Chain A
Amino acid sequence: MVEAVFADARRQSLWGDAWQRLQRSRAAILAALLLLLVCALALVGPWLSAYTVAQVDWSQPTLATPPSFANGHWFGTDANGRDLFVRVWIGTRMSLLVAVLATLVSVVIGVAWGATAGYLGGRVDGWMMRFVDVLYALPYMFFVIILTVVFGRSLVLIFLAIGAVGWLTMARIVRGQALALRQREFVEAAIALGLSPATIIARHVVPNLLGTVIVYATLTVPQVILFESFLSFLGLGVQEPLTSLGRLVAEGALEMESSPWLLLVPSAVLAIVLLCLNFLGDGLRDALDPRQRR
């Protein structure tokens, strides 16, 4: 049977298709591998060194020693004599953790909010999106500062605060897509089948948005990392002796004339992470674009 042969040759899910296309994009694959390497180092890096994150090495002639293989400080030490190699990977770990969790928070809220507003449309959509507009209008920095002052500083609060700010854009993007999807015939068919709005949103609308959501999420992660760096820079983020890339860059900037490696190393890691995420996001966007199907 011709039809059967034709169908068998292409037994391939949409996600399988996307994965194949992603593999064909060299930049995205390289970015993904580099990211994996950075993540692995963030996990195991601190154990590779003989020093710990808060330990001051008094054996060196100066507190801020430049990078050297001889004394075991591969990235040198900071102004307080602590090993930068360990601190950079601890910082990366923290930055990635904040980024991933905050992005997750913003994706969950944003998708649920946007898809509901976009699918239901009309007055409900109007009110839901006006609420988003009002939150947009609040200066988010102010909002986060109030949160940290009221509830005290904690890691969880940072995730929540950044996520609570980040979902607004996600909701707008998702809502726009959902509005367009609502007009599609398969949604009409689902209504004609008598499915409830909740089922239609969850099963017919949201999965069709996931491509956009994933792309936007990979592009949100770098924003969140920068935002966290900014918070830490203001002293509202991660507290000593823990650190984040943003804090390391901020501290390095103070010493950049006398010990430039303190600025260069964390900046390089931050730049690599941000670039990789952007490249990966671009690759995913192309891979998940249904119009690119062969």
Chain B
Amino acid sequence: MTAEPVLQVRNLDVNFATPQGAVAAVSGVSFDVRAGECLAVVGESGSGKTQVLMACLGLLASNGTARGSALFAGKELIGANERELNRVRGTGIGLLSQDPLSSLTPHLRIETLLTEGLVDRGLATRIKARQRALQALAEVDIPEPEARLRQYPHELSGGMLQRVALAAALMCSPQLLFADEPTTALDVSVQARVLELLAKVRDRGAGVLIITHDLGVVAGLADRVAVMYAGRIVETATTDGLFAAPEHPYTAALLAAVPRLHGDAQARLVGIPGDPPQPSARPPGCAFAPRCERAVDTCSESRPELTQCASRNQLGAVQGESGAATTARNAPITAVACHRPLQAAAEIA
């Protein structure tokens, strides 16, 4: 895939000023999202996944500050003023949030919710916007779109609402879609439909950045994965590469904690001992070191930088044959922030 990156995030820091002092929610996060590609960001609650999105859209809470760079189609989003941001919001970047019932204004009809983005900007007349809304609802497989337009959010079921919210995010045909845990509030059968629709959005050429803690979602949809832990990206890899051979012990532990249909049904799931560190009191070295089985002394002393992992290059070549998500020519196939990555260790052994 040689497409240009739609979103280029470099060294993004997000800090929150609290009465107890500054709290670093996100530190030094860098990633690209390319057109027609789906990047998944996975991590535990509180690992800073959502704050990355919020920083890009200028939606941080008033005590939050973002530093670094986020280039969207050549425009810098970090530090941009409201007017500049409003040119990107909705039309450039769509946002699909976790809970559709709370993200759709309760007293407005679906029609208003869908059309206001276009009408308010003067991009379309009310009638044109209505036609576009019908089309958008049809795109997300909503039956009887005419009737839906007249309804209020509370009259629709959760799965339908999430599809309406997706239609709303797609009304202005954004080049990039942020999906913040879009399936967490839905039951499994509806999840699958929403994921199919997101895949459709990606296949039409938009970039999709999906945030989730469901590795099943990652496996089904994402082309590449970035694993976040304690505000940092600890590993980025192609999805197949990640599942086949995780480099970072945290990724490995995450994968081990996922139940599997195949294999030994009696096998116990392996939890990760301990809790993630508080954002205000992160250890100086690798944040995962206190919980890591493979930790050595250096781990708690110095924090490893994100480096390209040698072993994965071979693996990447193997993955390339399967046709799935080969990476751009010079981009690292995997990057990992660990003193003792798993695959490299295996090689040494």
Q: Which of A11, A14, A185, A196 contacts B107 (CB 8 A)?
A: A14
Q: Please report the total number of B residues contacting A with Cβ < 8 Å.
A: 44
Give the A interface residue count (CB, 8 A).
Answer: 32
B120 with A199: CB separation less than 8 A = yes
Is the CB–CB distance between B97 and A193 below 8 Å?
A: no
Cβ of B298 under 8 Å from chain A: no
Flag whether B347 is at the interface (Cβ < 8 A).
no
B147 contacts which chain A residues (CB < 8 A)?
Answer: 4, 7
**Given A13-B152, A14-B152, A192-B95; A203-B168 close (CB under 8 Å):** no
Residue B313, interface by CB 8 Å: no
- A283 CB to closest chain B CB (Å) equals 20
Partner of B99, one of A13, A185, A197, A207: A185
Contact A186 to B116, CB < 8 A, known contacts A1-B143, A3-B160: no
| Contact partners of B104 in chain A: CB under 8 A | 186, 189
B302 within 8 A of A: no
Whether a CB of chain A sits under 8 angstroms from the CB of B227 is no
Q: Is A10 an interface residue when CB atoms closer than 8 A count as contact?
A: yes
Q: A11 is contacted by which of B99, B144, B151, B168 (Cβ under 8 Å)?
A: B151
Contact B157 A195 (CB under 8 A): no
Measured CB to CB, the closest approach of chain B to A197, in angstroms, equals 8
Most chain B beta-carbon neighbours within 10 Å: one of A121, A191, A204: A191
**Smallest CB gap from A189: residue in B:** B103
Task: Tell whether A58 is near chain B: CB-to-CB under 8 Å.
Answer: no
Q: Which A residues are in CB contact (< 8 Å) with B152?
A: 13-14
Is the CB–CB distance between B89 and A192 below 8 Å?
A: yes
A193 touches B143 (CB 8 A): no
| Complex Cα–Cα for A290 and B106 (A) | 10
Query: B155 at the A/B interface (Cβ < 8 Å)?
Result: yes
A122 at the interface (CB under 8 A from B): yes
Query: Which residues of A lie under 8 Å from residue B249 when comparing CB positions?
Result: none
Per the bound structure, the CA–CA distance linking A184 and B107 in Å amounts to 14
Taking CB atoms, residues of chain A closer than 8 Å to B93 are 192
Q: When chains A and B are docked, how far (Å) is the Cα of A208 from the Cα of B105?
A: 9
Q: Does B168 lie within 8 Å of A193, measured CB to CB? A: yes
Contact B59 A192 (CB under 8 A): yes
Query: Which B residues are CB-close (under 8 A) to A208?
Result: 105-107
- Assuming the A-B contacts A188-B97, A192-B95, are A3 and B156 also in contact, with contact meaning beta carbons closer than 8 angstroms in the complex? yes
* Top 7 A-B pairs, shortest CB-CB distance: A194-B89, A194-B90, A192-B95, A193-B90, A189-B103, A186-B105, A185-B102
